[in-house]
Structure 1
Amino acid sequence: MTRKAGDEASSSLFTSAISRRAALTGMAGLGAGAFLLRLSSLPAQAAAGGELQVMAWEGYDLTSELADWRKTNGVTVETTSIANQDDVQAKFVAGNPPPIDLAEYNQAYADLYIREMKIVTPIDVSKVPNYTSDNLFSQFYDQPTWFADGQHWGSPYIWGFNTILFNADKLAKPASYADLLDPSLKGKIAIMDDTVSSWPVAARVAGLGEKYPLLTKDELGKAFAEFSKYRDQARVIALNQGELVNLMVSGEVVAALCADPSIITQTDQQNMKIEMAMPKEGPVLWVDAWFIPISADNIEAAHAFINQSLDPAVQAKVAMAVVQAPVSKKAVALLDEKSRSRIDYNAIDSIFAAGLPGIPPRASDTHATYDDWIAAWQEFKAGM
């Protein structure tokens, strides 16, 4: 993946994020011995089939898309929903993590999971035949965010944008985040309790988007001073997608700042017309990947699951279901017209040219650190 210039900016794509919502303190001093001991006790090869323990974002767990595969292979899946990225690493804070076989992570968490917490088991791509340059867009094949030190740590399987979502029957399409500050929308917008998406937007509305995540402490203060205008305009800081769906369906909220378009599927089912807008400041780009935790005890089935997640037909189905985009270039032709026209796949190089959003550095003499951002975020939320 293309990265920003400069050593610190480059490394920021691999700096550790503690959560989409709140920090897990004390991780820096967490010993790796328990994790390595757990890894050494895993079987070299687990039996195919059986039960898979999966942690996934709501709607992204492939429950319907892999129904036939599960039946054919005798696989049962127990899914735990992720509301915030910290739900995943929280499972590994204790020295005896549960036997989770698969989980998702946003690209910004690579360094935390792989190098600091050491909770990721390398993927054997010989067992993932769908992981090929012929099937995947080049942005997702052997890129440093997921392939490093000669090993595959994650398998990208879905990407997209968090952006403005709005009730098309009650509001004209916003052209800018600033449109949500219109006095008529006082108490009618929502902000997601999601640091990965909200922090870049805080920087952008303050005119500091190109510097994110490397803002000085003074610039951090300016970013949240500007972002507070949106908080003061909001009815709520929504904790999860389910809360946002309920608020939009009830009509209490008519627009959400930088939300996941996957809720459109849920609102459609309730005859609520929600659309997404691409503000001039830009949506927040992200890529989610599957990884196999060190506590996995059904590694064979985990690899098979990852492989099926990259099947073009499965890719198309999940992309349409969550209103996002496939990593498989072969899947594009299988999308319905509405889904295919939502993104110009011929322009994917330019979409990713600026790189994926990073995370503020853990330590810095010149820039606001991750802890500084967490403190500012908590203060921001306390002001509701």
Structure 2
Amino acid sequence: MAKEPKTSMLETIQFTRRTALLGLAGAGLGVSTGRLFVTPARAAVGGSLQIMAWEGYDMTNELREWRSTNGVTAETSSIASQDDVQAKFIAGNPPPIDLAEYNQAYSKLYIKDMKIVSPIDMSKIPNYNADNLFDVFFDKPTWFSDGKHWGSPYIWGFNTLLYNSDMIKKPASYKDLLDPSLKGKIAIMDDATGNWPLIARLVGLGDKYPLLTREELGKAFENYVLYRNQARLISINQGDVANFVASKEVAAVLVADPSIITQVRAQGVPLEMAIPEEGPVLWVDAWFIPISADNIDTAHAFINQSLDPQIQAKVATAVVQAPVSKKAVALLDADARKRIDYSKINEIFASGLPGIPPVDDDGEHATYADWVQAWQEFKAGL
């Protein structure tokens, strides 16, 4: 993997990643996707659309008019963990899910290993074009391979650090959180895909992630225990963390959602964002059509609408993240436009996007299962 983005390129970026927990160590193994019966796919836009999405990312408000015009009824299941998606396909007879989100780290697992992704008919996605999308999202291997489009990126952001500026000065490095005065005053979000690359970076192995040896994995987690020893809590619940910050029991949070800032500031606490020298962890979410989809035409129409510049701007504003549409930038409000220097987007993504550790054991590198076990043991030690 190439070197991580330099902090100087990202000083104006102010995003974090919502919570994600990897809980299925063998998700790509022994998967059966046969269905007991097949429902004929619809041949027109309309009807019920079954969606799996992160809370707040299903575009309920942004696509309200589109749904009404086209007679679409969306039934959404919220994702608390990326593993919630593949869990639907571990056993046979997956439910008829028409659309779901996936983090870029799961591309190979979903497309190559589990084979739960159907190709997208790009003739039905006219908004997916080089004039609309930033180049870093257009026809890139993460979503386009073997001559087929498997996913449609639609939102991006990153994980970083939040801190109470009344309690501590702006951290220049994550290592600043190891100050003895902060013992019991930091929180770590239970976000594996956000924490794992960071864990590797903190011991100088960021360039190797996700291909660490088992010895390196042990070294990385041994070092991260120092941060756990400083922590008041490790939590999957953003609301709980917001309460701890608002009550000033916690001074800094690793891997938090930007909504926490709004909640905490509303209570008079100055929660700010820092981008430490180790850099943020980038992520991109994409829509995909699962193999069990019934309402395929409507799923395509939904994806197309998700890339409309006006919808892109509305979604990015609502979730305090960033659009994949370059045309959407001009439609953002002034504060949203200032969060990122979009002229440097190619530099921001120059290091590539982090993946997940290999599912299969190659005899050299720590596997996905090894990382999950290490993460669970790490959390249990608090």
Structures share fold, TM-score greater than 0.5? yes
- Measure the CA separation in 2 of the matches of 1:202 and 1:283: 12
Compared CA separation, residues 290 and 179, structure 1 to 2 (3 A): same
Find the counterpart in structure 1 of residue 15 from structure 2.
none
Residue 282 of structure 2 is aligned to residue 281 of structure 1: no
- Whether contact under 8 Å (2:307, 2:325) holds in the other structure is yes
Q: CA deviation at 1:25?
A: 3.3
Q: CA deviation at 1:148?
A: 1.1
My pick for the range that moved more, 237-246 or 326-335, is: 237-246
1:37-56 per-position Cα deviation (integer Å, ceiling 9, x unaligned) = 86xx3535443222212111
Residue 371 of structure 2 is aligned to residue 373 of structure 1: yes
Q: CA deviation at 1:273?
A: 4.2
- Whether contact under 8 Å (2:186, 2:232) holds in the other structure is yes
- Whether contact under 8 Å (2:117, 2:288) holds in the other structure is yes
Aligned residues: 365
Compared CA separation, residues 80 and 254, structure 1 to 2 (3 A): farther
Find the counterpart in structure 1 of residue 10 from structure 2.
none
Compared CA separation, residues 76 and 340, structure 1 to 2 (3 A): same
Code of the aligned partner of 1:20: L
1:44-123, aligned counterparts within 5 Å? 44-123=41-120
Residue 161 of structure 2 is aligned to residue 164 of structure 1: yes
- Measure the CA separation in 1 of the matches of 2:139 and 2:344: 20
Q: CA deviation at 1:262?
A: 4.4
Code of the aligned partner of 1:30: V
Matched residue SS, 1:70 = helix
Compared CA separation, residues 273 and 97, structure 1 to 2 (3 A): farther
- Measure the CA separation in 1 of the matches of 2:263 and 2:328: 23
Matched residue SS, 2:29 = helix
- Measure the CA separation in 2 of the matches of 1:49 and 1:272: 46
Q: CA deviation at 1:209?
A: 1.4
- Whether contact under 8 Å (1:164, 1:257) holds in the other structure is yes
Matched residue SS, 1:259 = coil
Compared CA separation, residues 78 and 264, structure 1 to 2 (3 A): farther
Matched residue SS, 1:285 = strand
1:1-384, aligned counterparts within 5 Å? 20-25=21-26, 27-32=28-33, 34=34, 41=38, 43-267=40-264, 273-362=270-359, 363-384=361-382
- Measure the CA separation in 1 of the matches of 2:150 and 2:349: 21
Code of the aligned partner of 1:96: N
Code of the aligned partner of 1:319: A
Gaps of 5+ in 1: 6-18
1:20-44 per-position Cα deviation (integer Å, ceiling 9, x unaligned) = 3322436412235x16x86xx3535
- Measure the CA separation in 1 of the matches of 2:243 and 2:81: 18
RMSD, matched Cα: 2.1
- Whether contact under 8 Å (1:83, 1:240) holds in the other structure is no
* TM-score where L is the length of structure 2: 0.89
Code of the aligned partner of 2:291: I
Find the counterpart in structure 2 of residue 9 from structure 1.
none
Compared CA separation, residues 358 and 137, structure 1 to 2 (3 A): same
Matched residue SS, 1:360 = coil
